[in-house]
Structure 1
């Protein structure tokens, strides 16, 4: 697997308004808003930064609003960008052969990102990703 860059980082929060207030009001970041998700693309030093409500992370990973009790709740997510969607599939297979369990395997999200996610030992939700807009 060849990781190209960190494609995104987001805090995961149960209180999106309080977290957004920290980043927007206290730190002055110009976050855009899409529903309860706040973000900025092309963030200097990173491709994407966001404040992701836990309910949205649960919906993306499990198709439900609640994070499952049997998996520790993440407080952050980091996504590592790969060359293309096929590279995501290959990376998942490579990691599964090494014993890695995934929260979900490769899928294409409604916004066009191909991603597979797993939990790190520290409780960070890790994504192996291909976001086409980062390759344009």
Structure 2
């Protein structure tokens, strides 16, 4: 486990591509690679059954834009991410403060999602949409 001043990563909460073409993404991952997904409203496909990450999901770009910017389109002045990666941390507020103090441009800070997750999001230098999260449903009780 890598530990920084105020950031203590506990596990990879999720990973997956940001999909522009939902049909093509579903065919590759669902049909070709034979991954069984649960389908949520809006075409969000996810599974918690693959070993190695808690969640692997095909996150539609319009839903990522909604989460980060409150609208269905990604802003032209912000690079479009190719993938998403979430790290569940011990203290999301402390991790957020640490990221800000190191100069990262945060797209959202400590946002409470409807499913109970608290998340801060930013783009990595590689163009990955990174989330620093607390996801209660993934924590051991």
- TM class by shorter chain equals over 0.9
Equivalent residue, structure 2, for 1:112: 116
Please provide the CA RMSD for this pair: 0.9
Q: Does 1:12 align with 2:18?
A: yes
Name structure 1 gaps, 5 residues minimum: none
SS across alignment from 2:106 = coil
Equivalent residue, structure 2, for 1:30: 36
Candidates 77, 93, 96, aligned match of 1:70: 77
Count residues with an aligned counterpart: 133
Distance in 2 (alpha carbons) for counterparts of 1:105 and 1:99: 14
Candidates 80, 85, 92, aligned match of 1:88: 92
Structure 1 stretches of at least 4 aligned residues deviating more than 2 Å after TM superposition: none
Tell me how far 1:41 sits from its aligned partner: 1.3
Tell me how far 1:111 sits from its aligned partner: 1.2
Tell me the TM-score normalised to structure 2 length. 0.91
Distance in 2 (alpha carbons) for counterparts of 1:13 and 1:92: 26
Equivalent residue, structure 1, for 2:4: none
SS across alignment from 1:95 = helix
Name structure 2 gaps, 5 residues minimum: 1-6
SS across alignment from 1:117 = strand
Q: Does 1:128 align with 2:135?
A: no
Tell me how far 1:43 sits from its aligned partner: 2.1
Deviation string, structure 1 residues 3-52 (Cα, Å, up to 9, x no partner): 00110002101111110111110000011100210000142111000001
Equivalent residue, structure 2, for 1:50: 57
Distance in 1 (alpha carbons) for counterparts of 2:55 and 2:113: 16
SS across alignment from 2:16 = strand
